[in-house]
Structure 1
Amino acid sequence: MSKGPRAAGPLWRTGALLVALGVLAPVATLLWLAAGSDMAHWGHLSQHVLPRAALNTAVLLAGVGTIVLLVGTGCAWLVTAHDFPGRGVLSWALLLPLAMPAYIVAFAYLDLLHPIGPVQGAIRWMLGIDSPRDFRLPDLRSMPGAIFVLGFVLYPYVYLTARAMFMTQPAHLMDAARSLGETRLGAFFRVALPLARPALMVGLSLALLEALNDIGASEFLGIQTLTVTIYTTWVVRSDLAGAAQIACTMLLIIVALVLLERHGRSGRRFASVRRMQPMRPRRLHGLSAVGATLAATVPVLIGFVAPAAYLVWETVKRLQQGGGVSHGLLLSMGNTLGLAAGVTATAVVAALLVTWASRHTGAAANRARWQARVASLGYALPGTVLALGLLTPALSFDAFVGQALGLQGLPLLGAGVVLVAACAIRFLAMPVGTLESGLARIPAALEQAARLLGETAAGTLRRVHLPLLRPALAAGALLVFVDAMKELPATLLLRPANFDTLATWLYAEAARGTYEEGAIAALIIVLAGLLPVVLLARDPLGAATPEGNP
């Protein structure tokens, strides 16, 4: 009888444990900071700060959740169960908003929808109105504006998981419902939608976690969420304990979202049918076909085409005017690439530690499996929470090293080590997910054959597993690299002095109300963000399953 792989060595198990403890360290620090302040501080926050911020956050999450569920699920069903003009292009184009960080879309629409901007100017021209005082659209700097922006940026999370589930649903279930007298709409609500509920909960929880992590779009649009409140309390008011207490409140919302996702997936187990026949798309004609094409096109136009076209227009205009690219922007681009490379290397190595330790059999490997789960929890922690949780231990370590070695300044914070660690913790779930999927496809017999031929465990990993894991490693590294380029909250709070990335450069430009070079920085980020979208479009089933990571 063939046995599974041997237990991992103590070095791998120790490394996996250190990675898990590193992910938990920011949360432990936050709890310690919050518990160390007096009750009067808690009373002031609970009376004057938390109610408004918590209410704004709850309303924002409810609105964004509604939009992403309606748009994501509707578009997924439309392109899976129906055939209409443009369906082949729209099925992958609906993923394009994933390349647009929310703060970039907010940045673009603030200029596009400005009272003297191109959209309102064109509407007044068509209506024969000269002055903006006589006609203006509702202000985008509002709660509905924030819900609109975030909803149409984040709906692909639900679309991706829902479409993957709809594509794997057997056709005979829908046929059975129709034969029992159900209409097409009734069969969707009573058969297809309940079967897709686990996937919908995964996509919804991911979208809401991203909305909770957002700081740029919410601040640009004037919404005082918990994330923005943490930033202002820490940076503007220099109140570290108060920021930690608000962050603990935020952790409760994160736990609730994770429990929502777990509840949505619990109790849903369906037998898989081999050689099942997938649903055949129903051909639409006439007005139905036109309506389907328009319905699937609108989210792409709002979430990607309009802001991307604006960025291209502003970039071309800047270059034609002879402005060129400033030295500061080029330096920020170099900083961004260097930061993303450091985060990617750190996250991939840490992911390899925890996945290899959890692959092997034995009691020690069973403990390593929960360490892999803990290591993946960093994705649920917003960048502001990670930054706040890592700051205190980093300052203490810097003080100790400086005193012991006689160094001036802050060695860890000043060198960007803490920033790299924060981003690696946040994005560690991506390479962990891809490596776990890759290792699951490698038969244990290959490792057993290598060990019988005298190969060591390290040699087996180097000569057998790593060559087979190259696609998984490349996919995980690409996802981490691009997300590290886009990360704003942690970078904004933990960057060294005089260190700007493209994201912080754009943030500063938007804060000053200047859009020229900000558009160039935003366009570079968007072009980089298109790479993982291409991966997802090529393999939607392998890249997004209900049990996987985004």
Structure 2
Amino acid sequence: MKAAIWMASGRGIALLLCFPLLALLIEAGLSPLDLLAHLWATVLPTYLLNSAGLVCGTVLLCLLLGAPAGWLIARCQIPGRRWLNWALVLPLAMPGYLVAYVYTDLLDYAGWVQQSLRNLFGWQQPGDYYFPPIRSLGGAIGVLSLVLYPYVYLLSRAGFGELAPQLVESARMQGYGHWRRWWHLELPLVRPAIAVGLSLVAMETLADFGTVSYFAVPTLTTAINDVWLGYGELGAAAQISLGLLALVGLTLLMERVSRGRQQRYQRQSLLQPTAALVLRPIVCVLAVGYLLALIVLGFLLPCGVLMYYAWQVWDGEWPAGLWDASFNSLQVAGWAALVASIMALLILFSQRLNLKLAWPRQWAGLGYAMPGTVLAIGILIPLTATDFGLNALLAGLGQPEPGLILTGSLFALIAAYVVRFIAMALGAIESSYGRIPPSLDMASRALGHGANSLLWRVHLPLLRRGILTGALLIFIEAMKELPAALMLRPFNYETLATLVYQYVKAEQLAEGAFPALLIVAVGLLPLLFMNHYLGERKS
């Protein structure tokens, strides 16, 4: 195909991904503002402040947890680095709402921790002592940070590991110590990768519903859900969702500004790995303890509690519908990862052919921060209109009506996952594109290669790591997605996430431990493969 066709395809895909947003804009514009004005005068400012506090707190804590871990693994020689390298990403396999359920069960007033403290110190009444409430904004920030910090860790680890050794050695020869080299050289060079990770954390936090709902923390996502399902006001829900999307746009803008001119310094040719630093014994012990604490709190402890629950209720038979839900989750997540990766590659390749064409990539990633319930609305509006129009057309032609072929099938659910998670593929592939200098494209053109040959022979071999990373991240997130699956799944169609939700909603967390552990187990396989394939250096 010619370059013009590739660029047109990138624009077309980006516009297609914007259809849910366009549907929300139309719905919001056609609806009265009475309910929105009432909410603004009563509870909406509180929801907005909670959302802002949740995002700021989670982003800051993920930065403090993920960036140092990435530097320690990529640049330091510590015992068990190979094991720690892959273990630090294990929390990505844990859905945030599952970790919230587990920690609430452990840390609430009736939980094991407070019961043990009361028995140990003889406390009788709640007023005898103070224990930070887990069902609070701070608790939500802590839980979300434990499962989202791997985004920052993965990208910062890759950035620190790909630093040109010539630059590091030059700084050392000029008398820069470890701390000055890290602050004045390494951190500024890796800042673009860290900014991408933090933007993913911010968008994921803005879109979270399960954790904040369980902790009773009112945010914009819970407001949208309450207005739609409680008041039955689809238009007001769409209007609030536009405010949430404004926060997303601000997040993306801040990420772009923070990267700025630093992007050009990422185009370094890595001929050999940077020499690992040898830490002093006491510092090494503290570093290993810090990394182990992340693994225990983010994965081992929640997973161990779920295994204990599963062992308690095991009666020799698997829960009903478990295997069907497992197959359904694998099917939907696999298709979503494949379709989203192809679309992201086409969008970014069209941008590569015309560097001034930036809007398709920016617009295509907006769906990441749309709450699942709002995304379901945006998906259902155009697909329902298409189904009804197609049925009316065929009926007018005297043909049998096919029924709801889009909204009544997996198409709607897969479409929602693609719109929701394509930002992950865009970020991963764009990061890989940042290490391919434009001069390589010009050299290929000078040798007579067209757009097709440039993509297949030059770009794809260099982008395979970014494509694989994005696809695996989408697969893992699609396995855990709950709100969109609840609203868009076909009749009598369960995924692992919806099956767990049914148990937890009925206060049967122990019975939901088996499907919860399957979500974790299925997410572990691609995570382990990704770390093995993308590992920067061997210990």
Shorter-chain TM-score tier: 0.7 to 0.9
Structure 2 counterparts to residues 218-367 of structure 1, below 5 A: 218-268=212-262, 269-270=264-265, 272=268, 275=271, 278-285=274-281, 287-319=282-314, 321-322=315-316, 324-348=317-341, 350-351=343-344, 354=347
User: Structure 1 residues 59, 131: CA separation in 2 closer, same or farther (over 3 Å shift)?
Assistant: same
> Comparing 25-34 with 293-302, which one deviates more in the overlay?
25-34
Amino acid at match of 2:78: F
Runs (5+) with no aligned partner, structure 1: 1-5, 544-550
Quick check: 2:23–2:378 contact (8 Å CA) kept in 1? yes
Aligned to 1:195: 189
Aligned to 1:391: 380
Q: Are residue 108 (structure 1) and residue 102 (structure 2) matched?
A: yes
Structure 2 counterparts to residues 111-150 of structure 1, below 5 A: 111-127=105-121, 137-150=131-144
Give the drift of 1:62: 1.5
Structure 2 counterparts to residues 512-531 of structure 1, below 5 A: 512-531=506-525
Amino acid at match of 1:481: F
Aligned to 1:401: 390
Identity %: 37
Aligned to 2:477: 483
Give the drift of 1:338: 3.2
User: Match of 1:428, SS?
Assistant: helix
Length-normalised TM-score, structure 1: 0.82
Quick check: 2:204–2:368 contact (8 Å CA) kept in 1? no
User: Structure 1 residues 277, 348: CA separation in 2 closer, same or farther (over 3 Å shift)?
Assistant: closer
Give the drift of 1:253: 0.5
User: Match of 2:232, SS?
Assistant: coil
**Deviations along 1:373-406, whole A, 9 cap, x unmatched?**
6445443544344223222222322332343445
Quick check: 1:434–1:472 contact (8 Å CA) kept in 2? yes
User: Structure 1 residues 397, 277: CA separation in 2 closer, same or farther (over 3 Å shift)?
Assistant: closer
Aligned residue pair count: 527
Give the drift of 1:525: 0.8
Quick check: 1:216–1:507 contact (8 Å CA) kept in 2? no
User: Match of 2:18, SS?
Assistant: helix
Quick check: 1:103–1:217 contact (8 Å CA) kept in 2? yes
Counterparts of 1:315 and 1:411, CA distance in 2: 38
Q: Are residue 509 (structure 1) and residue 510 (structure 2) matched?
A: no
> Comparing 378-387 with 203-212, which one deviates more in the overlay?
378-387
Q: Are residue 213 (structure 1) and residue 202 (structure 2) matched?
A: no
Quick check: 2:361–2:426 contact (8 Å CA) kept in 1? yes
Q: Are residue 379 (structure 1) and residue 362 (structure 2) matched?
A: no
**Deviations along 1:88-130, whole A, 9 cap, x unmatched?**
3223322111111211211221222243433334444554668
Counterparts of 2:451 and 2:66, CA distance in 1: 45
User: Structure 1 residues 100, 223: CA separation in 2 closer, same or farther (over 3 Å shift)?
Assistant: same
> Comparing 19-28 with 350-359, which one deviates more in the overlay?
350-359
User: Structure 1 residues 542, 378: CA separation in 2 closer, same or farther (over 3 Å shift)?
Assistant: farther
Give the drift of 1:136: 7.3
Give the drift of 1:473: 6.7
What is the root-mean-square deviation of aligned Cα atoms in Å? 4.0
Amino acid at match of 1:427: F
The correspondence for 2:161, drawn from 161, 167, 186, is 167
Give the drift of 1:155: 1.2
User: Structure 1 residues 243, 79: CA separation in 2 closer, same or farther (over 3 Å shift)?
Assistant: same
Runs (5+) with no aligned partner, structure 2: 396-400
Amino acid at match of 2:296: L
Counterparts of 1:474 and 1:65, CA distance in 2: 25
Quick check: 1:171–1:280 contact (8 Å CA) kept in 2? no
Aligned to 1:77: 71
Counterparts of 2:469 and 2:63, CA distance in 1: 27
Aligned to 1:36: 30
User: Match of 1:419, SS?
Assistant: helix
Amino acid at match of 2:111: G
Length-normalised TM-score, structure 2: 0.83
